[in-house]
């Protein structure tokens, strides 16, 4: 690849690269293809040896069973009820704090920002027991509040991400608005946030992925099965199906695929935002 002319060595290297990519690609995608294939087999087909990759006929009704064996629509609704407010609250609170760190000079600012970054590395296990006691004392166990309320206080990683982005926005229009008498809050909302759209999108997408797929929080705080999220519900389903006489792996695979689906759709719709969020942390 070092020279534009395609010598035999370059052609050979290109060929090898393709062979490696295709081989690894096959290994990486085989589990998902197998999952999809399993989800369309009848119970006999799923245990058939050797395994048939093309189920004939495909048992699409497995997907109906996957969403009715446990109240999956209810789980979906619960997940939305948690995820939507968390996305809004995380964005607003993190963007407020990030604006404070990016645009104001005040004593202790740099120390506070360093502290904020340091908490990113804090393992959650140290605070989980006291937080559980706190939420239990408030009577919030088996409600969605322990999963939603903490997002009102901003999240260090998103504060960092948004602050870095705010710093790259020129201040001219903000200063003009200040002279015209606009409040800082108004400037933040109507001048800064619209210019930070890419960072805002990254925050929303990562918050969605994190909250939608969270397992530990719902596992700790949601006891009633009818309050479960999709992720927690899938684990409940796994336990129930494994506990029955013949394990319906086809149903479990169908349910798992349905849980994965929103992630995959979002990923294809917003791939570049994922990449930005992922590579953000390295430069610091």
Partner 1 sequence: MKAEHRQGWLFVAPWALGFLLLTAGPMLYSLYLSGTSATLLSPPQWIGLENYRRMASDPLFYRSLGNTAAYAAMGVPAGLLLALGLALLLNAPVCGIGFFRTLFFLPSVTNTVALAVLWLWLLNPEFGLLNAGLRACGVEGPLWLQSETWAKPALVLMSLWTAGGQAVIFLAALQGVPRELTEAAAIDGAGPVRRFLAVTLPLISPALLFNLIMGLVGALQVFTQAFVLTGGVQPGSEGGPNQATLFIVLYIYKKAFQEFDLGYASALAWALFVIIVGCTALAWRLARERVHYEGGTP
Q: Which of residues 18-47 bind partner 1 (CB under 8 A)?
A: 18, 20-21, 24-25, 28-32, 34-35, 38, 46-47
Q: Closest approach of Cβ 5 to partner 1, in Å?
A: 14
Give the C-alpha separation, 240 to 117, whole Å: 41
Q: Determine the Cα angle at 229 with ends 96 and 32, to 5°.
A: 100
Residue 82 is a binding residue for partner 1 (CB under 8 A) = no
Q: Closest approach of Cβ 153 to partner 1, in Å?
A: 2
Among 11, 226, 271, 272, indicate the residue that binds partner 1 (CB under 8 A). Answer: 271
Q: Closest approach of Cβ 209 to partner 1, in Å?
A: 6
Q: Closest approach of Cβ 162 to partner 1, in Å?
A: 12
Q: How many residues bind partner 1 (CB under 8 A)?
A: 96
Q: Closest approach of Cβ 156 to partner 1, in Å?
A: 8
Tokens in use for 81? 């009820």
Tokens in use for 228? 């479960």
Three-state secondary structure of 21-41: HHHHHHHHHHHHHHHHHHHCC
Please name the residues in contact with 43: beta carbons below 8 A apart, sequence gap of 6 or more: 246, 248, 250
Provide the 10 A C-beta neighbour count for residue 10: 14
Cβ atoms of 62 and 40 closer than 8 Å = yes
Q: Which of residues 114-143 bind partner 1 (CB under 8 A)?
A: 115-116, 119, 121-134
Q: Closest approach of Cβ 79 to partner 1, in Å?
A: 11
Q: Which of residues 166-225 bind partner 1 (CB under 8 A)?
A: 184, 188, 209, 212-213, 215-216, 219-220
Residue 278 is a binding residue for partner 1 (CB under 8 A) = yes
Q: Closest approach of Cβ 255 to partner 1, in Å?
A: 8
Classify the phi-psi angles of 154: left when phi > 0, otherwise alpha if psi is within -120 to 50, otherwise beta: left
Tokens in use for 176? 């003009």
CA–CA distance from 133 to each of 127, 136, 187 (Å)?
Answer: 10, 5, 40
Please name the residues in contact with 74: beta carbons below 8 A apart, sequence gap of 6 or more: 226
Tokens in use for 22? 């295709």
Q: Which of residues 153-172 bind partner 1 (CB under 8 A)?
A: 153-154, 156, 159
Which among 58-66, 164-172, 191-199, 232-240 is the span making contact with partner 1, rule CB under 8 A?
A: 232-240
Q: Is the peptide bond before 57 cis (omega within 30 degrees of 0)?
A: yes
Cβ atoms of 165 and 73 closer than 8 Å = no
Q: Kind and range of the H or E element at 202?
A: helix 197-212
Of 138 and 176, nearer to partner 1 (C-beta) is 138
Q: Taking CB under 8 A as the rule, which mask of x and - marks residues 236-265 in contact with partner 1?
A: --xx--xx-----x--xx-xxx-xx--xx-
Q: Closest approach of Cβ 199 to partner 1, in Å?
A: 16
Of 144 and 212, nearer to partner 1 (C-beta) is 212
Residue 11 is a binding residue for partner 1 (CB under 8 A) = no
Of 56 and 282, nearer to partner 1 (C-beta) is 282
Of 143 and 213, nearer to partner 1 (C-beta) is 213
């Amino acid at each position: 690849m070092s020279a534009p002319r395609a010598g035999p060595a370059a052609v050979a290297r290109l060929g090898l690269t393709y062979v490696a990519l295709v081989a690894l690609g096959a290994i990486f995608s085989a589990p998902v293809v197998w999952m999809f294939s399993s989800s369309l087999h009848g119970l006999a087909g799923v245990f058939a040896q050797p395994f048939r990759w093309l189920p004939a006929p495909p048992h699409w009704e497995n997907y109906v069973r996957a969403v009715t064996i446990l109240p999956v629509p209810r789980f979906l609704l619960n997940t939305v009820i948690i995820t939507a407010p968390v996305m809004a609250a995380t964005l607003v609170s993190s963007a407020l704090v990030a604006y404070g760190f990016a645009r104001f000079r005040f004593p202790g600012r740099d120390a506070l920002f360093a502290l904020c970054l340091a908490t990113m590395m804090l393992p959650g296990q140290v605070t989980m027991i006291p937080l559980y006691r706190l939420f239990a004392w408030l009577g919030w166990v088996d409600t969605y509040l322990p999963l939603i309320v903490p997002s009102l206080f901003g999240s260090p990683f998103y504060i960092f991400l948004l602050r870095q982005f705010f710093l790259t926005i020129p201040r001219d229009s903000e200063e003009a608005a200040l002279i015209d008498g606009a409040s800082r809050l108004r400037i933040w909302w109507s001048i800064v946030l619209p210019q930070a759209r890419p960072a805002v999108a990254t925050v929303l997408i990562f918050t969605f992925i994190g909250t939608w797929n969270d397992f530990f929080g719902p596992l700790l705080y949601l006891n009633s099965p009818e309050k479960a999220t999709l992720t927690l519900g899938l684990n409940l389903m796994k336990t129930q199906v494994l506990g029955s006489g013949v394990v319906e792996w086809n149903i479990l695979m169908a349910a798992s695929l349905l849980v994965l689906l929103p992630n995959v759709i979002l990923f294809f719709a917003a791939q570049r935002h994922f990449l930005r969020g992922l590579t953000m942390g390295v430069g610091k």
